[in-house]
């Protein structure tokens, strides 16, 4: 329950901070931190335009996409406090529920019959396919390290003790954050502020969405960012009491958001054709974590 509230709060400012940081970095004043929320609430009040090519798939997809993100939020714990549901193997459920949302967002893009949206859909499908193994191996390593298979038990049992485990936690945070970048289509995989449809991934998939549906998709995007941020936070706060862990949560989310903003200000997007390889590299990083866990547990001896 606690995690749900915290994620929603974090989601409300996360994207705003990214935009603010980018503005400051480029020497502008920039909009307020809550501007994204205002944008979304404006969208919720608007009418919609549907393409004549589309079918019911296009109309139900945003709803399902949004619901899948909300469902995934319910599974994520906060340190000692469980998510709303928590069970053995809930991280599998987490990944597959998000996959349902992705499935629908991909086919809804193809529903419009637009070549641009097909392009985005194709990229999204390929990238998310490559990103998932990294997540599963990371979770597998944590399961091996802690002997548990649910998010909450795993994170609660994480004790950062030796140097190797520091390295592992940092690598784990890196993998999770990069997975988040892939899932949210941000730099260095995708540039949400690009002006050419040919070079977009996520943005081009929702070209034809409007009004309430677009609002749902954007909200889901904000939530998704905070969601992955919460997972990263969970890697570090395992045993701390709430009076430390809750401030830590916000500090880490802030650091992550401004990090994303800075990266987007000073880095160029990767070449589209090299993205897949890059994402697959994440899998090898998570394999590295796995070997690290084997080392800690002394399996090689």
Partner 1 sequence: MNLITVFLAIAVITILLIPFLQAKGKGVVLLTAIVLNAFLSGYLAIESLSEELSAFAFSGSLVTGPVNIRIDALAGWFILIINFVFITGGFYGLFYMKTYRNQTNNLSLHSIAFVLLHTALVSLCVIQNSIVFLVAWEIMAFSAFLLVIFEHEKMATLRAGWNYLIQSHVSIVFLMIGFIWVAFKTGSYDFIAITAYTSANQGAPGLLLFLCFFVAFAIKAGFVPFHTWLPYAHPAAPAHVSGIMSGVIIKIGIFGILRMITLIKVDFYTIGLIILIFSVISGLYGVMLAIVQHNLKKLLAYHSIENIGIIGMGIGIGCIGIGNGNAWLASLGFAGALFHTLNHALFKSLLFFTAGNVYQATHTLHIEHLGGLIKKMPQTALLFLIAAIAICGIPPFNGFISEFIIYNGFYHWMKDGLVGPLMTIIFSVLALVLIGGLAMLCFTKAFGIVFLGNPRQKFHHEVKEVPAMQLLPLYLIAFLIISIGVIPQIFLNALALPVNLLAGFSVNAGLPFQDQITGILQPLNWGIWIFILIILATFVIRKFAMQNRKVVVNTTWGCGYVQPTVKIQYTASSFVRAYSKLFRPILMTSKTEKEVEGIFPTGGMYETHIYDRIEKYFIDNPIAAYKAFLGRFLFLQNGRLQFYILYGIIFIVSIICIPYFYDQIVLFFEFIKQI
**Interaction with partner 1 in 100-159: which residues (CB under 8 A)?**
100, 102-103, 106-107, 110-119, 121-123, 125-126, 128-130, 132-133, 136-137, 140, 143-144, 147, 149
Residue 174 as a binder of partner 1 (CB under 8 A): the answer is no
Residue 55 as a binder of partner 1 (CB under 8 A): the answer is yes
Ramachandran region, residue 160 (left: φ > 0; alpha: ψ -120 to 50; beta: rest): beta
Residues 208-247 that bind partner 1 (CB under 8 A): 208, 211-213, 216
CB 25 within 8 A of CB 266: yes
Q: What are phi and psi of 78, to 5 degrees?
A: -130, 100
Q: Which position has the token pair 């394999």?
A: 287
Residue 46 as a binder of partner 1 (CB under 8 A): the answer is yes
Residues 255-294 that bind partner 1 (CB under 8 A): 273, 276-277, 283, 287, 290, 294
The binder of partner 1 chosen from 26, 41, 53, 162 (CB under 8 A): 53
Comparison of 110 and 173: residue with beta carbon closer to partner 1: 110
Question: How many residues contact partner 1, by CB under 8 A?
Answer: 84
- With a CB cutoff of 8 Å and minimum separation 6, the contacts of 112 are 51, 53, 54, 58, 207, 208
- Minimum Å gap between C-beta 203 and partner 1 is 12
Comparison of 49 and 268: residue with beta carbon closer to partner 1: 49
Task: List C-alpha distances in Å: 256 to 91, 176, 192, 212.
Answer: 22, 12, 17, 29
State the Cα–Cα distance between residues 7 and 253, nearest whole angstrom.
10
CB 157 within 8 A of CB 146: yes
Q: What are phi and psi of 81, to 5 degrees?
A: -85, 135
The binder of partner 1 chosen from 2, 9, 23, 50 (CB under 8 A): 50
Neighbouring C-beta atoms of residue 20, cutoff 10 Å:
21
- Minimum Å gap between C-beta 105 and partner 1 is 10
Residues 61-80 that bind partner 1 (CB under 8 A): 63-64, 66-68, 70-71, 74-75
């Amino acid at each position: 329950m606690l995690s749900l509230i915290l994620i929603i709060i974090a989601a409300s400012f996360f994207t705003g901070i990214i935009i603010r940081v980018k503005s400051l970095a480029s020497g502008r004043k920039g909009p307020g931190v809550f501007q994204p929320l205002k944008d979304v609430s404006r969208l919720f009040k608007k009418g919609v335009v549907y393409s004549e090519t589309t079918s019911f798939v296009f109309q139900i997809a945003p709803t399902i996409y949004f619901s899948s993100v909300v469902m995934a939020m319910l599974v994520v714990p906060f340190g000692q406090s469980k998510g709303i549901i928590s069970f053995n193997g809930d991280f599998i459920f987490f990944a597959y529920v998000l996959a349902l949302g992705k499935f629908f967002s991909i086919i809804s893009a193809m529903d419009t019959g637009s070549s641009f949206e097909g392009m985005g859909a194709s990229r999204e499908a390929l990238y998310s396919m490559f990103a998932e193994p990294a997540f599963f191996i990371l979770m597998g390593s944590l399961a091996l390290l802690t002997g548990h298979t649910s998010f909450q038990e795993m994170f609660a049992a994480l004790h950062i003790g030796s140097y190797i485990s520091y390295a592992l936690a940092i690598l784990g945070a890196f993998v999770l954050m990069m997975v988040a970048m892939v899932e949210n289509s941000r730099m260095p995989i995708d540039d949400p502020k690009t002006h050419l449809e040919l070079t977009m991934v996520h943005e081009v998939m929702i070209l034809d969405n409007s009004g309430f549906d677009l609002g749902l998709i954007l909200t889901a995007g904000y939530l998704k960012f905070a969601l992955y941020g919460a997972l990263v936070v969970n890697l570090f706060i395992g045993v701390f009491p709430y009076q430390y862990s809750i401030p830590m949560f916000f500090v880490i989310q802030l650091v992550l958001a401004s990090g994303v903003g800075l990266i987007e200000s000073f880095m160029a997007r990767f070449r589209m054709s090299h993205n897949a390889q890059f994402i697959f590299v994440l899998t090898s990083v998570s394999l590295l974590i796995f070997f690290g866990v084997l080392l800690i547990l002394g399996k090689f001896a």
